[in-house]
Amino acid sequence: MILERARKVLEIEADAVASLKDRLGPEFVRAVELILQCRGKVVVTGVGKSGIIGKKIASTLASTGTPAFFLHPTEGVHGDLGMLDPRDVVIAISRSGETEELAQILPLIKRQGNKLIAFTGNPSSSLARAADVVIDVSVKQEACPLGLAPTASTTATLAMGDALAVALLEERGFKEEDFARLHPAGALGKRLLLRVRDLMHVGEEFPRVEEGASMKEVLVEMTSKRLGVTGVMDGGGRLVGVITDGDLRRALERYPDLLERRACDVMTRNPKGIEADALAAEALKRMEEHAITSLFVFERPGDRCPVGIIHLHDLLRAGVV
């Protein structure tokens, strides 16, 4: 019985969302156009469950390139209407379209000249009559067996808000880079914003030895810089090789007199590199492709004098994965 009821709820809510498709038309297009023409922000308002849905819609709009915030009607009549600019577009959400708190602020919104978009389940309501655009989010029935708790209606309203946000996103040409700019702390933001230059080791932190250096000097350099790797440079500061922990293990098997050898005897030639302005995510991809844990960093393609080094641990610490 429990699972049967749960399945029925999901079926009712799915039907409520699916039915919205047939109602999309000129009013929805007009709502998108009003917001695109808006020189202010989108202000979303509603009470109770509609208010909670309104907060989510405002958040989705703001995170996808449409500046928006939520204004509670009750707080509005107690001073917060001062946040409303005449250039703003207001989205008012009410299932009945007769919510008392909304009714109190509608005349003030209209008097100020704000364009009003109504999300309502009652297209003949007071809210609908006051609106410039009416988006019909009515449902045949609520999933609540008592028909009282907003369930299917809030799901339908939320879905319509998502449809509006995505339509605006596409009309604005909003891209991954824009999303990352608004979400710099998220994983996507780090993948699309962080560059190798931001994470690489430079100066005294950059492990390097000359190709004629003794293996004792190599070991000291690798140990002190704690990256498990060192670059090998020629007399002109050009990168000619790399020595890793793996190279040392293999050299121990090959050379019984390892400490009497020079860096050039042990190094691996043609080490992998990357440009300083490349995305950190590209550095991770390159490491994975070559099964390595570090890359030497160059200012430009074709350079031979590295300016730093980036290690897999740097990318992990920065949350690039």
Same fold, 2-174 and 196-317: no
CA trace torsion 205, 303, 287, 290 (10° rounding):
-130
Task: Tell me the CA end-to-end span of the chain in Å, nearest whole number.
Answer: 43
Question: Is 247 within 8 Å of 268 (Cβ atoms)?
Answer: yes
The string of pLDDT tens digits covering residues 126-160 is: 999 999 999 999 999 998 888 778 899 999 999 99
Homologous superfamily of the 2-174 domain (CATH): Glucose-6-phosphate isomerase like protein; domain 1 (3.40.50.10490)
Question: Is 72 within 8 Å of 51 (Cβ atoms)?
Answer: yes
The tokens of 270 are what? 């043609």
DSSP secondary structure string for all residues of 191-232 = HHH-BHHHH-B-GGGS-EEETT-BHHHHHHHHHHHTSSEEEE
For 187-219, letters b (16+ CB in 10 Å) and e give: eebbbbbbbbbebbbeeeebbbbebebebeebb
Give dist(CA 218, CA 205) in Å, integer. 15
Q: 45, exposed or middle or buried, with CB in 10 Å at 0-12, 13-18, 19+?
A: buried
The string of pLDDT tens digits covering residues 171-230 is: 998 877 767 666 665 666 666 678 999 999 999 999 999 999 999 999 999 999 999 999
pLDDT value of position 255: 87
Three-state secondary-structure class, residue 121: coil
The string of pLDDT tens digits covering residues 43-71 is: 999 999 999 999 999 999 998 889 999 99
Homologous superfamily of the 196-317 domain (CATH): CBS-domain (3.10.580.10)
Question: Is 296 within 8 Å of 239 (Cβ atoms)?
Answer: yes
* Domain ranges across the chain: 2-174, 196-317
Strand partners, 309: 201, 296
- The reported pTM is 0.69
CA trace torsion 238, 198, 63, 162 (10° rounding):
40
The string of pLDDT tens digits covering residues 97-126 is: 999 988 899 998 989 999 999 999 999 999
Residues near 273 by beta carbon (within 8 Å), at least 6 away in sequence? 239, 295, 296, 297, 298, 306
The string of pLDDT tens digits covering residues 88-99 is: 999 999 999 999
pLDDT value of position 215: 92
